[in-house]
Structure 1
């Protein structure tokens, strides 16, 4: 996710944009309103127009919500827009991995990481995704009560450590999970609170907690990396590929770079997919027609067998369920870039240093691009009869040169997990509205409890 906080600011813009927008407060700008509810704030900004001027603390910013403008921002990153310097909480966890790096350093790291998540490699991980999910399904029984968030987190963590580390668990999976939870929470708190405008050197309780969490993450990743270095033979996991990758000069990634890329891949392969699946079960439970359509597709395509990578292309409704979930509850809910000299959006000059923001949450819920935007309608993604969605009206994985490298991994993983579990079960999520909390990803504001219902034998 691309975010920026005040602890690491760039060049000050030359002056405010002649655009509509909220006036804000002296010094703080619109930070209090943003911090109270970032998602609602971006929806309110959209009400001013497709290009809006606002202030994040003392920083002049522009918010864009039209897909054409969003496309310009995303595709011009690395040319006329810089990846922002991220806040201390985010950088403490993520280091300087491919998500954070800029310029030549980013290009080098992307060239080293990208081969590990190409379609051919994702295909080799699919059997692990399915097998891990079957293991979970074998522990469920009809009438059982489960914590959906806990179950999905444990499953995607198992898949992540198997595909990334090539082992069943890191040295202490529980400690790693707790540390990641703390990291998510503290990044969200710092980003939307006063920590967003505090210099990096100012100590706060939240920054102390995130340093402790990062130390746990570092220790666990370090143990697994050391185990790999001591091993013999070639392994198919992501970490092994990173350890053997070389750049154009013949240099390997350093130990610090290995740590940063491993954590980036872990979060991308675990935290984001887990969150998406929780929201998918929540939405399916509240939309019985969609749940029945998914079951019908699974019976037709799979019958009594488990899904594999060769079934992915045929599971079009399952893909649509994931896409519609990511529309309503996008894991990455915010992108931002910093204008360089000569930057423009929609023909409007962006003074150097201007922060240009866009929000998947706001654009994905715009009725101009998505009729009945609050409704869960997987059919809008039907390859033949679906809606005509403009490019960059749906951008849950970002876009342009810095599009998320794990996009295909995440889509395949989510679809295969849904296919394995929904072929056997329905999850009746408890009644009541669950609201999203914007941390590193969009998380439910309470437990997501459900009753497991066994489906009848397949009619396929």
Structure 2
């Protein structure tokens, strides 16, 4: 998820600027913020959700039908295992657009926690969900106030098939804020190690 977040920041400087502004304000008011203060950053939360909506960390989750049902005219017997392909869930004219502000204007079914199913929900929710979100918020908070994601240096491919969207060969260049020195950050995949 962090890889894709840095990719978005490097390719969408408007999003990076908005996120940096929100983080800079909090860091100026609280040089050593608590997690609750970091957790209160609305745009950071929306950016993380949007990153995972567009580049889901897991590409599929499995559900079991607890009863006989019909969905869009298709009969599904009880106990049928359903593969839910997370990348196929987002729909609408702007589904491919990266827009963290969309999370501020969700209504109706879109605002249901079950509409955003990256970590699954209910009794089968990912056991690591809370820890993953805490870690990514703190890491992004530190990176964004220290570095600027400048560019993606070269073409990359996405590992397929895979349970997660893993970019192979992606390089995101970072520049330390207040410095002109570029730092190259290469994302390594297990096959390359």
TM-score range, shorter chain: 0.7 to 0.9
Indicate which of 34, 53, 60 corresponds to 1:327: 53
* Larger RCO, structures 1/2 (Cα 8 Å, 6+ apart): 1
| 1:216-273: CA deviation from partner (whole Å, max 9, x where unpaired) | xxxxxxxxxxxxxxxxxxxxxxxxxxxxxxxxxxxxxxxxxxxxxxxxxxxxxxxxxx
Q: Does the residue aligned with 1:321 lie in a helix, a strand or coil?
A: helix
Query: What 5-or-longer segments of structure 1 have no aligned partner?
Result: 1-275
CA deviations over 1:50-104 (Å, ceiling 9, x no partner): xxxxxxxxxxxxxxxxxxxxxxxxxxxxxxxxxxxxxxxxxxxxxxxxxxxxxxx
- What is the distance in 2 between the residues matched to 1:430 and 1:332? 23
The match for 1:414 among 105, 130, 136 is: 136
1:453 aligned to which of 175, 180, 186: 175
1:308 and 2:27 correspond? no
Inter-partner Cα distance in structure 2 for 1:282 and 1:421: 13
The equivalent of 2:166 in structure 1 is 443
The separation in 1 between residues aligned to 2:82 and 2:26, in whole angstroms, is 44
Aligned residues of 2:150 and 2:174 also touching (Cα < 8 A)? yes
- Please say if residues 324 and 376 of structure 1, whose CA atoms lie closer than 8 Å, have aligned partners that are also in contact: yes
Aligned in 2, Cα 1:293/1:447: closer, same or farther, shift over 3 Å?
Answer: same
Relative distance call for 1:454 and 1:422 in structure 2 (3 A) is same
2:13 equivalent to 1:291: no
Residues 321-350 of structure 1: CA deviation (Å, up to 9, x unaligned): 11100000111211223446x432449642
The structure with the largest helix share of the pair is 1
Listed one character per residue, the Cα deviations across residues 278-304 of structure 1 (whole Å, up to 9, x for unaligned) are: 000001111110000011001111127
Residue of structure 2 aligned with 1:357, choices 83, 98, 101: 83
Is the alpha carbon distance of 1:421 and 1:307 closer, same or farther for their aligned partners in structure 2, counting shifts above 3 Å?
farther
| Structure 1 residue 447, shift from structure 2 partner | 1.6
Q: Decide which structure has the larger Cα Rg and report it.
A: 1
Matches within 5 A, 1:329-408: 329-339=55-65, 342-346=67-71, 349-352=75-78, 354-364=80-90, 366-367=91-92, 371-382=93-104, 386-388=105-107, 389-391=110-112, 392-408=114-130
SS in 2 for 1:442: coil
| Structure 1 residues 433 and 451: CA distance shift in structure 2, 3 A | closer
Using a 3 Å threshold, how does the CA distance of structure 1 residues 380 and 329 change in structure 2: closer, same or farther? same
How much is the aligned-residue C-alpha RMSD, in angstroms? 2.4
How many residues are treated as equivalent by the alignment?
173
Quote the Cα distance in structure 1 between the aligned partners of 2:142 and 2:69: 47
* Residues 1:282 and 2:7 aligned together: yes
Please list every run of 5 or more consecutive structure 2 residues that lacks an aligned counterpart in the other structure. Answer: 180-193
TM-score (norm 1): 0.35
Change (3 A) 1:352 1:320: closer
Is 2:152 the counterpart of 1:430? yes
Q: Give the TM-score of the pair, scaled to structure 2.
A: 0.78
- SS of residue in 1 equivalent to 2:175: strand
